[in-house]
Structure 1
Amino acid sequence: MNDLLYKVQSRFLFHAHVRIKIPASCDDAVFSELFTVMESVDRKYNSYSPDSYIDRINRNAGHFVTVDDEMASILKEIVFFSDIFKGAYDVTVMPLVRLWGFYRDKVDRIPSERDIGTVRPFVDYRKIEINGNEVRIGKGQEIVTGSFIKAYAVDRVVCRMRELGIDDGIINAGGSTIYALGPAAGDEWDIAVSDPADNRSAYSFSLLNRCLSTSCQSETFVTVDGKRYGHILDPRTGYPSPNRLVCIASDRCMVGDIVSTGLFCETRDSFVEVLGRIPREYALEGFLIDPSGEPVCSSSFCYTHEKNAV
């Protein structure tokens, strides 16, 4: 980006290595303050954190649970985007995730059509009820936050950095959520994303005060009879999406991660149409790489494809 000096710290949060890069002139205590913001989000809103609000909602499925204003606001936005995706994005997908055996040590077979048919009725975001600070899901349902909570925590960190007067830096949350913070007159950050099917192929982007969210199947998967099945499931079918990569540029990380996950379950033909349903004020751009390796992108999205990247 430029010749400025930076310092970096990394911590393991949300099952990912989170790296924060800030100007070298900042006091080291800033790192602790920023990571504390993320740790608070993890503790209060992550479905994998014991006694978080989502954990309480899941454990009390079928009954209302009292949550704070922030949790209610997050879930309302989740439902808003779920409506746009018409079932392709659904945070109640956890019963299917468990059925497929993701995060288990060994999986011997893929679920049968009958198995999937038994579980799919529990996957329905429309059964999430939000009445003020009371939230209820249906019996047998379970919310999973993996598609948005890490990104929401990054949004909170970006806000805190700006409050502290830090207008330059990078937050990289596991490679799937990257926010590039910079002064209005500064140079853009150059970000590269590897093609999950070809490590010598990469896509490069320029970002300034925006987030790049990526979805792919290369990190979390199960292998049955020598074939890989990725963890991003299409809630409408119960099966993993076959796409290779989705990248979305956005002003807010949580929005970008939700959209990249939902669009990962779309086809080349539906990608641009579904992206066009999202209100323009969200200023979203991006592209999808289908199973054959062919890209389709929004009209204003710019990237560079390097086929022999090292």
Structure 2
Amino acid sequence: MLQKVPKQYLAQTRRIFHCNCKIKIPIAFGEQLLEKSFEILEEIDRKYNSYVSGSYFSIINEKRGSWVTVDQDCIEMIRTIHKVSVITKGHYDITCMPLLKLWGFYKENSHKLPKSNELKSALEKVNFRTILTDGLNVKINTNQEIITGSFIKAFAVDKTIEFLKKQGITDAIINAGGSTISALNDADHPSWKINVPDAFNKDEFKTGLEINSQTFSLSGNVDNHLIIGGKKYGHILNCITGYPAETAQTGVLTKNAFLGDILSTALFTVPAAMLDEVTAELKKHFDFDYFIIDNDNKKTLTECFQYLR
């Protein structure tokens, strides 16, 4: 009996979106197609990343208070984000940059707890409802700043997956920083196995998750936090209180990466007392599975994540 020959893949990793992005495709499609895939990621980075000068969101921030002409993709992203922010009652808000700066996430040292009056002042600048759109035009308030970190990398992954599909690829995986992992699968390779890092120890992993033409999105603070007065403060903020969210890790399974990354961040920000209400409302609009682990290691899981128990 002939043994089935394992499929061979081409894989390459590059630094984009301030993280390592790895693309893996069947070897038969060649290095040129792999190169084009990375070009798509890099183009999205240049075109939309708020950290990149000249991008749409960078210009919106620079010209705050004035209308800026963008493209339809930009408008659609803002509309979806607005819907999620409404459902989370503003706990997830992409205008949170003043809070991040106040906490010192862009400083290397001299971290300290914000004073109450400083938090109050920063919170007055955070309000997703004042992001205005009119056709292909966008405007934010003069004291606002949008940050794209919770969604733009995933948007780029979706665009790259769309490209791979158009080239006839039915089996591939893109891993963007370990927090956005998007797969294509076919009958010969029905799933990709994913290791999920432990919520409290980044060197330990939980095994058991398989994704089949899906995206797994992960949010956590185990390796992105500040230590102030001996206490850890994570980088994902509750935009109502101004303090870091009381969550250790969230994971979401979706059909596309953009939605998955938004939801994993949004669920991270939602207080435990609101969680049932918020997830029920989100389920009315979006198809997803999720898990949430709080700082006391209390877990909320949908069925596909039962191996985390």
| TM-score under structure 1 length normalisation | 0.93
Task: Report SS of the residue matched to 2:37.
Answer: helix
Q: Tell whether 2:163 aligns with 1:160.
A: yes
Q: For residue 183 of structure 2, what is the amino acid of its counterpart? A: A
Matches within 5 A, 1:10-21: 10-21=13-24
- Aligned twin of 1:211: 215
Task: Report SS of the residue matched to 1:79.
Answer: helix
C-alpha spacing 1:166/1:50, structure 2 compared with 1 (3 Å): same
| Mapped contact 1:151–1:177 kept (Cα < 8 A) | yes
Give distance in 1, aligned partners of 2:279 and 2:110. 35
| Mapped contact 1:203–1:303 kept (Cα < 8 A) | no
- Aligned twin of 1:128: 131
Tell me how far 1:234 sits from its aligned partner.
0.6
Give distance in 2, aligned partners of 1:83 and 1:271. 14
C-alpha spacing 1:201/1:27, structure 2 compared with 1 (3 Å): closer
Structure 1 vs Structure 2 CA RMSD: 1.7
What runs of 5+ residues in structure 2 fail to find an aligned partner?
none
Give distance in 1, aligned partners of 2:188 and 2:276. 32
Give distance in 2, aligned partners of 1:241 and 1:40. 32
Q: 1:89 aligns with which of 87, 92, 95?
A: 92
Tell me how far 1:61 sits from its aligned partner.
0.9
Give distance in 2, aligned partners of 1:107 and 1:284. 40
Matched-pair identity in %: 35
Q: 2:237 aligns with which of 228, 233, 239?
A: 233
What runs of 5+ residues in structure 1 fail to find an aligned partner?
none
Tell me how far 1:271 sits from its aligned partner.
2.7
Q: Tell whether 2:26 aligns with 1:23.
A: yes
Q: 1:266 aligns with which of 264, 267, 270?
A: 270
Tell me how far 1:305 sits from its aligned partner.
3.0
Q: Provide Cα deviations, 1:75-124, integer angstroms capped at 9, x if missing partner.
A: 12211221121101100001101111113111331211111001101100
Q: Tell whether 2:286 aligns with 1:287.
A: no
Q: For residue 29 of structure 1, what is the amino acid of its counterpart? A: Q
Q: 1:181 aligns with which of 176, 184, 193?
A: 184
Q: 1:55 aligns with which of 54, 58, 67?
A: 58
Q: Which runs of 4+ in 1 moved over 4 A?
A: none
Task: Report SS of the residue matched to 2:90.
Answer: coil
Q: Tell whether 2:80 aligns with 1:77.
A: yes
C-alpha spacing 1:60/1:109, structure 2 compared with 1 (3 Å): same
Q: For residue 21 of structure 2, what is the amino acid of its counterpart? A: V
Q: 1:254 aligns with which of 250, 254, 258?
A: 258
| Mapped contact 1:14–1:150 kept (Cα < 8 A) | yes
Q: Provide Cα deviations, 1:5-63, integer angstroms capped at 9, x if missing partner.
A: 11210110111000001112121011110111111111111000001111111011111
| Mapped contact 1:82–1:88 kept (Cα < 8 A) | yes
C-alpha spacing 1:11/1:200, structure 2 compared with 1 (3 Å): closer
| Mapped contact 1:288–1:296 kept (Cα < 8 A) | yes
Q: Choose 122-131 or 260-269, whichever is displaced more.
A: 260-269
| Mapped contact 1:120–1:235 kept (Cα < 8 A) | yes
Q: Provide Cα deviations, 1:176-209, integer angstroms capped at 9, x if missing partner.
A: 0001211156322111111131343525311100
- Aligned twin of 2:305: 302
| Mapped contact 1:107–1:223 kept (Cα < 8 A) | no
Give distance in 2, aligned partners of 1:90 and 1:10. 31
Tell me how far 1:267 sits from its aligned partner.
3.5
Q: Choose 106-115 or 210-219, whichever is displaced more.
A: 106-115
C-alpha spacing 1:251/1:280, structure 2 compared with 1 (3 Å): farther
Tell me how far 1:274 sits from its aligned partner.
1.4
C-alpha spacing 1:301/1:267, structure 2 compared with 1 (3 Å): farther
